[in-house]
Structures are given as structure tokens and as C-alpha cells.
Structure 1
Amino acid sequence: MSRAIKIAEHLIDKYCIRSHRDLNLKEIANAEMLVIEETDLNGLLGRVMFNEDMGLIQINKSITNEGLKRFTLAHEMGHFLISKNYRWNKHGCTFDSLGNYNSNKGHEAEANQFAAELLMHKPWFSKFIKNIPICMDLIKQIADEFKVSVTAAAIRYAEIGQYPIAVILSKNSVVQWSFINSYFPCRYLPPGIVVPKESNVWDYFNGKQMAEDENMIPALSWFKEDIRCKQSTYFYEQSIVIPATDSVLTILWQSEYD
């Protein structure tokens, strides 16, 4: 278990939080000596400045999505609680910092892990999704129930959900990052790959109406560079537009015909 997850679990126990519905982030932040303010941040979603005793969290006041705002706050709290023993520290976080769990910046990945565990604590999350088939509607339900962004909900499902899925973010027709469950049959999808023409995502980036219903697609369309990917394998694909960044979030899951 990572340090970030341990700290999140400790916080849940410390404040006797029994359910995600009892979780009041601002009250916890204040109790941990953090002041919160909303302000202009010039392209950043959030920023935290702190020493070993206290800190200031700033959230971009232009964020209109409540789920993204809560995840940003939890992410910045994570920076403070993970690193507060340092004499002075400062972190500024972009959409990429919060959305990409595969970030090369270790402190950003840790803050994401903390936020995911605090907001979508594994026992609460597992109970909510139990026996529900995977699709984008479930991801949206998770986002609504736990008050997080759709991206955070999808990545959390890929981490601990009962069905193996791949989560892909594309922008300007190019894959920006992917987060793939360890049991998913294909895993090699490097950033920079052009989205496949067989995908509904291609339609969106080429000025056409993107269908939001699930679509069956050959696995090799997305994973053409994965030598383990079989020609006979098909995935279900479903996507949703993220208007704030003009990007598309896609989930893939395995067809029952394999």
C-alpha cells in the first residue's frame, strides 16, 4: 500500500468518516490547518503553498464542474499532507497533473492517489459498483455519486473495478495518455498515437457528430503496436467529450465474443 493511500485512510479514520456522503472536504482541510480560497490562477486548476504547520490552497474560480473542483481540492490537500514535513513547499497543478495518473512527476501521482482514496475510498467504491455492468453510464453515475470528475471516476474504476477496462484521453486526434487495468488483454498504447478511424473519437476530431453509444471495435484499431494483441479480439468502446479541454475520454472493455 502506498504512502498516499495510507495517509488518506488515516484521515478517514481520524475524522470517523463512515461514508462518502459524510465527507466534508473543506471542514477537514480547515481542521488540518489549511485555508482555502478561490481566485484567478492563470491556467492552473489549483495551487498549494505550505510549511510544516499550515498552508494555503487556492482553487481556480473559473472551474464550473463541481466534481473537478472537489478533486482539485483533495489533490492539493494531498500535496500538503504528504509533504508537510518540509520547511517550505509550493505546488501548482494543471488539468494534466490531475488527470494523468501516469505522470512522470512522482509527487503529482501521489497527490492523485491520495485524492482518489479519500473521495472514493475502496470499500465505499466497491460497494457502489458491485454487480453493475461496465459502461460509460456507470462511470457518470460514479462521478455523480462521489462528486468527482468523470475522468477521476473512470481511472478509479480501472484501478479497482470488477471488469478490466482501458481509459484513454485524446486531444486534437492524438492519444494524450491511457490508464489500463492490469488484467486488460492489451496494454501497450503509447502517447502520441493517432486515434483510429474506426473509432467514434475520430468523428469528433474531424468535425462530425460523435455517437455516444457503445461501439464494437477491433482491438488492433487502438493497440496496433501491442504484439500481444490478437486480430480476433474486439472491444466495446464508449466515449464522452470533456468540454473544458476539448478532449475526449474513452473507455474500452472486452467483448463477450472473445
Structure 2
Amino acid sequence: MSATVNAAEHALQALGITEPEEIDVEVVAHSLGAKVKYRPLKSCEARIVGQDGRAIITVDTATTLRRRRFSIGHELGHWHRHRGLCLKCRSADIGRQTSDGRRTPPTAELQADAYASDLLLPGYIFRPLAGDFDRLTLEAVKILADRFQTSITATAIKALGTNRFPSLLVCHSQEGMRWFRRPPIVPDRWFPRSDLLPESPTFRTLFNGGQESRKPVSVKASCWFDTPAAERFTVTEQTFVLPNNRVATLVGFTDRRMLEV
């Protein structure tokens, strides 16, 4: 296996998968010795039980198709990394985001999430398709998400991971910032402020029930960064609504001077 190919991508390449539409998670699971079943679940969103190279993954039927796909990928991540354990994964355990965007030691759940992301958004397929876009907009993310049948959030995070787009993805609740993602291309000094200012369209979406942004909107960088340097620049923002009264915003750096180290 090439050093640039991870375990999830290796499983896909072993099946000859070269296009997003070919990623059938049940077929992939079968190739890895796991059978997928769908049942109403109350105590968890998905679980896996395995022995002697065989496993059964059970997924809650109440979730959406894209959520079920990610849950299967998540459980396959456990099958790859934590074989021998009986694991039940709650909704809060699957697709969890760390709060500050900094690197932290991966937990078992984060390792399983990373595997799911690599399985559903494999780099060898995703990177060339993401490269067709000049900048990261919500429209571009939705186009990619529809092709890969993944959530907008997971797709945006994977796009930032290509380090092609000078943007942040920031999640807020009415209590403040919950988490954010920053690619290496964006200097560490641009750390999002915890609050939202009323002049930001994202504020209106979150607190006043405003509409999601159809196009990126230019705002003062001080709306997003609590530092004197932000007064000299503008950024773009484009917001989409998340469950549990949260919103996520793509913050785009349009002035290359902000990227200078």
C-alpha cells in the first residue's frame, strides 16, 4: 500500500472505485467482513459487534441517508482500529467536532470519524474534483456533497483539508463559537472571535431566523477577528444552518495580504 493511501482509500481501490457514485458503503463493508443492518435504535445511532473477522453493523433507520452512510463509515473505522470491542455510538459521538481547531490527541470516536471521512470523501477522488473550483463557496460545497452523498459540513471540512482554499469554517450557537476549522494556508493569528457582531449577516441568520446566504457577502474582517489588524481588511462570509440551533459559516480571505506570514 502506498504511503499516500490510507486504509479506507485502500479498501476502495481494492474494489476498483474511481468515481464518487461508485462508493457503495454496504459493498465496501461486505468486502471488509461486515454486514449492514437497519433497525430502529433508541440508545445509540449505530453499533458494531464482531468476532473472528466478521461483524454486524446496525444503523438507526430514523436518520437521513447521508447520516446513515457516515455512520456506516464510522463503524467501519472502529472495525479497522478497535476490533474486538463492542461499541455503541450515540449521535453526539459520530461526526464530533473539536472546539478550537487545534490538533488534539485523537480519541477512538475521532479516529472512527476520520476513517469515515476518508472512506466517503477519498482524497484520490476528492482532490481533483475540488480542484475544479477557484474558491470555496457554499454552492461549490453543495455540488461536491451531492456527488459524494455526504453532509455539507463534512464536505466543507474535507475541502479545507486540501489546503487549496484560504477560508475558515466556523460554527456558532447562540452561546458563542462551538468549533472551527482552519487550513494551514491560513496563518494561526486569524483565530475567530467567540461572539458574533450584529453587523454580520451570520448574526441575523442565527438570532433573527434569517435566510442562508445564497452568495458570499463582503464584511469587515473585524466581524470575525478580534484583533486591531482586522480593521484593515474585509472577508466574505456565507452561512448555512445546522441542527440544534447552530449555524456554520465559510469565511473567505479575499485579500492575499492576510495570508502573509
TM score, norm. by length of structure 2 = 0.83
- Quick check: 174-183 or 201-210, which moved more? 201-210
Alignment correspondent of 2:240: 240
Aligned residue among 166, 169, 173 for 2:168 = 166
C-alpha separation between the residues in 2 aligned to 1:46 and 1:199?
A: 38
Is the counterpart of residue 42 in structure 1 residue 39 in structure 2?
no
After superposition, give the CA deviation of every residue in 1:156-215 in whole Å (9 maximum; x if it has no partner): 01101521221112223521111111111444247xx23332322211232342351322
- Contact 1:52/1:88 (<8 A) preserved: no
Going from structure 1 to structure 2, the CA distance change for 1:257 and 1:183 (only over 3 Å counts) comes to closer
C-alpha separation between the residues in 1 aligned to 2:88 and 2:52?
A: 14
Aligned residue among 134, 138, 148 for 2:150 = 148
Alignment correspondent of 2:191: 188
**How big is the shift at 1:52?**
5.2
Which amino acid is 2:85 matched to?
W
Alignment correspondent of 1:119: 120
Q: How does 1:57-68 map to 2 (within 5 A)?
A: 57-64=57-64, 66-68=65-67
Aligned residue among 219, 222, 229 for 1:220 = 222
After superposition, give the CA deviation of every residue in 1:76-104 in whole Å (9 maximum; x if it has no partner): 111111222xx333141424641416676
- Contact 2:96/2:110 (<8 A) preserved: no
Alignment correspondent of 1:209: 210
**How big is the shift at 1:239?**
0.6
C-alpha separation between the residues in 1 aligned to 2:207 and 2:150?
A: 29
Q: Name segments (4+ residues, structure 1) moved above 4 Å.
A: 101-105
- Quick check: 231-240 or 248-257, which moved more? 248-257
Going from structure 1 to structure 2, the CA distance change for 1:91 and 1:172 (only over 3 Å counts) comes to same
Q: How does 1:95-134 map to 2 (within 5 A)?
A: 95=92, 97-100=94-97, 105-132=106-133, 133-134=135-136
**How big is the shift at 1:129?**
1.9
Is the counterpart of residue 16 in structure 1 residue 19 in structure 2?
no
Q: CA RMSD in A?
A: 2.7
Point out where structure 2 has 5 or more consecutive residues left out of the alignment: none
- Contact 1:195/1:202 (<8 A) preserved: yes
Going from structure 1 to structure 2, the CA distance change for 1:7 and 1:211 (only over 3 Å counts) comes to closer
Point out where structure 1 has 5 or more consecutive residues left out of the alignment: none
Going from structure 1 to structure 2, the CA distance change for 1:158 and 1:45 (only over 3 Å counts) comes to farther
